[in-house]
């Protein structure tokens, strides 16, 4: 099997699964319980929190455990909006955000908030001038994705963050779900909130992390026992939390030793795919090393996906969260791509486990599939 859909989810490390199983079996007490067994579990949660904080170079009391990237984004965006709405009701984001962010903003619009959706250039970047012009005294939050999950464009987070801090009192939220371990997040200390999801770095689904700078207050979306410093109530998913800490440590170790390899594979694939006459590359230059987006105009992407699937090769069209909609990708259309081209887009996404042999086989089978499908259409 050749799995090239790692932006949708990654294969969990064996060590992560074992850590989950052992914790679930041996440490099943509630960490809020006062007895010894509860104390043992609470220590595991504290150790995992400290480990993750150390790996992210933040303090342990700035780590909030969530159920994944969607909840982290919702908590950051809605939590900030509700908590600070007395200062203003203006929010800023971009036109190419993940569905979990976009739908959060659309919901807030229905509740009386005003949202500015910043355009992007063909490189997928938000303009510093556009951002500066959009900021007002009423702006309480700016939320931007670091690495785009469909095309791999990388926002200049440091520069944009400095614009925000120099021109407003707005909080800055960064969705780093696709960037962690692949593209260093250079926020220059300007990010107040950062979202992560465990299953994007070989952890388990249903686990996420939100970095919340210590003096930032959020309105909790879940009420209850006051877990996670009263920001996110609910009995902790202790096996998932322990497994997340294990996954992040292993993943970042692998990132250090495999970054050159994944950059090499991406360059090779871009050159080879771009040389196919029927193909148009959508991924901008200087993009993340693990995502390649291209179109084969005239061929429905689902047909090409299933043709590759017959060869045990797995790719996708766009974000898994949006793959079932018939509408063209909002990310590609925001980049100026035509609807026809956007509707025929294919995304391949690599991991540090992807081999050169995988890429060679994929290229051979892609060319065969395109040729075969074009012949059938004549």
Catalytic residues: 321
- Cα-trace Rg, the chain: 21
Structural element, H or E, at residue 220: none
Task: Assess contact for 224 and 75: CB atoms under 8 A.
Answer: no
d(CA 231, CA 236): 13
CA dist 129 to 43, 124, 125, 191, 244, Å?
47, 15, 12, 19, 38
Helices in the chain by DSSP H: which ranges?
Answer: 14-26, 36-56, 69-84, 99-110, 128-134, 157-167, 238-274, 301-309, 330-334, 339-343, 356-377
Could you tell me the two tokens for 196? 């992560």
**At residue 104, what are phi and psi to the nearest 5 degrees?**
-65, -45
**HSE-up (13 A, CA, CB side) for residue 83:** 17
Q: For residue 349, what are its two tokens?
A: 């996404």
Q: 113: alpha, beta or left, given left = phi > 0 and alpha = psi -120 to 50?
A: beta
Angstrom CA distances, 214 to 64, 67, 121, 192, stand at: 11, 21, 34, 9
Report the alpha-carbon distance of residue 376 to residue 361 in Å, rounded.
23
- Give the pairing of strands 171-175 and 208-212: unpaired
As beta bridge partners, residue 313 has: 2
Contact assessment for residue 373 and residue 303, using Cβ atoms and an 8 Å cutoff:
yes
Q: Which residues contact 254 (CB under 8 A, 6 or more apart)?
A: 181, 352
Largest CA distance in the chain: 73
Q: Can you name the residues that pair with 293 across neighbouring β-strands?
A: 347
């Amino acid at each position: 099997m050749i799995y090239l859909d790692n932006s949708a989810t990654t294969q969990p490390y064996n060590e992560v699964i074992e850590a989950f199983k052992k914790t679930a079996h041996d440490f099943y007490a509630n960490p809020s319980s006062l007895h010894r067994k509860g104390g043992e579990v609470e220590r595991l949660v504290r150790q995992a929190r400290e480990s993750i904080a150390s790996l992210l170079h933040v303090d342990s009391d700035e780590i909030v455990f969530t159920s994944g990237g969607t909840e982290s984004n919702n908590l950051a965006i809605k939590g900030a909006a509700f908590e600070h709405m007395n200062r203003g009701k203006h929010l800023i984001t971009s036109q190419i955000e993940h569905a979990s962010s976009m739908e959060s903003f659309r919901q807030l619009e229905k509740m009386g908030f005003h949202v500015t959706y910043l355009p992007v250039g063909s490189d997928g970047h938000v303009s510093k001038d556009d951002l500066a012009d959009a900021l007002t005294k009423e702006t309480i939050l700016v939320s931007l994705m670091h690495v785009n999950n469909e095309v791999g464009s990388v926002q200049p987070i440091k520069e944009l963050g400095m614009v925000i801090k120099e021109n407003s009192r707005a909080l800055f939220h960064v969705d780093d779900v696709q960037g962690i371990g692949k593209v260093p997040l250079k926020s220059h200390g300007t990010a107040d909130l950062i979202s992560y999801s465990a299953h994007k770095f070989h952890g388990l689904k249903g686990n996420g992390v939100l970095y919340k700078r210590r003096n930032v207050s959020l309105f909790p979306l879940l009420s209850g026992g006051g877990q996670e410093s009263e920001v996110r109530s609910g009995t902790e998913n202790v096996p998932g939390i322990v497994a997340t800490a294990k996954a992040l440590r292993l993943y970042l170790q692998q990132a250090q030793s495999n970054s050159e390899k994944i950059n090499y594979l991406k360059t090779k694939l871009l050159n080879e795919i771009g040389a196919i006459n029927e193909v148009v590359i959508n991924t901008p230059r200087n993009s993340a090393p693990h995502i390649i987006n291209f179109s084969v105009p005239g061929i429905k992407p689902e047909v090409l996906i299933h043709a590759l699937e017959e060869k045990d090769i797995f790719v996708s069209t766009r974000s898994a969260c949006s793959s079932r909609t018939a509408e063209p990708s909002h990310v590609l259309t925001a980049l100026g791509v035509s609807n026809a081209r956007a509707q025929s887009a294919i995304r391949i996404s690599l991991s540090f486990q992807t081999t050169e042999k995988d890429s060679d086989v994929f290229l051979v089978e892609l060319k065969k599939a395109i040729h075969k499908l074009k012949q059938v259409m004549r």
